[in-house]
């Protein structure tokens, strides 16, 4: 697959193009160089009069570039060795992405949590009396100390949880 190389220096007096890249540059990979300022092809792998030699990322051109300027813009195409994506690889990636999305969805919690990950518990009026009784049992409080369902159950429920947790024995 061809790739456009945009980092280079051009020295028309020495007929040299220096490639500034981490890629290995060889004549087998170099496809075409066009001076887009003057609209001239100065290197073409298929044209013997527009060839050149490469040494240490420096291309010495056969084409006469003496009349050109170092500030001229060049269009340089290289074969980068990458294979284009096929329908098979695209479909395989889509299948893997869908599978990963399903796995992430399965790992999500079904519970409602607040911003710091605490479980949201809703207590209806029918559930309040057994809850208050169980809190009284574990906490030793009376129903009169619970002021309301929203605010009053928070502290006794935490105390009851801590009391139960402290009674656990692991072997």
Task: Tell me the average pLDDT across 15-36.
Answer: 89
Query: Do the beta carbons of residue 21 and residue 57 sit within 8 Å?
Result: yes
d(Cα 144, Cα 160) in Å, to the nearest integer? 17
Closest by CA to 66, choosing from 8, 10, 24, is 10
pTM above 0.85, yes or no: no
Q: pLDDT-derived band of residue 37, with 50, 70 and 90 as boundaries? A: very high
Task: Tell me the average pLDDT across 13-19.
Answer: 93
pLDDT digits 0-9 by tens, 48-101: 889 999 988 899 999 999 999 999 999 999 887 766 666 777 777 788 888 888
d(Cα 129, Cα 73) in Å, to the nearest integer? 83
């Amino acid at each position: 697959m061809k790739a456009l190389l945009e980092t280079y220096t051009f020295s028309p007096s020495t007929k040299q193009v220096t490639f500034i890249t981490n890629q290995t540059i060889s004549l087998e990979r170099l496809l075409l160089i066009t001076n887009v300022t003057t609209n001239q092809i100065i290197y073409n792998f298929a044209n013997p009069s527009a060839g050149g030699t490469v040494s240490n990322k420096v291309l010495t051109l056969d084409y006469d570039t003496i009349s050109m300027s170092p500030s001229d813009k060049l269009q340089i195409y290289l074969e980068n060795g990458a294979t284009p994506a096929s329908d098979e690889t695209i479909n395989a990636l889509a299948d893997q992405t869908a599978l990963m999305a399903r796995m992430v969805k399965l790992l999500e919690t079904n519970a409602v949590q607040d911003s710091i990950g605490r479980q949201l518990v809703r207590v209806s009026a029918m559930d309040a009396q057994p809850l208050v009784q169980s809190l009284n049992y574990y906490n030793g409080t009376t129903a009169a100390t619970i002021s309301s369902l929203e605010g009053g159950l928070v502290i006794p429920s935490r105390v009851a949880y801590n009391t139960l947790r402290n009674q656990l024995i692991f072997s």
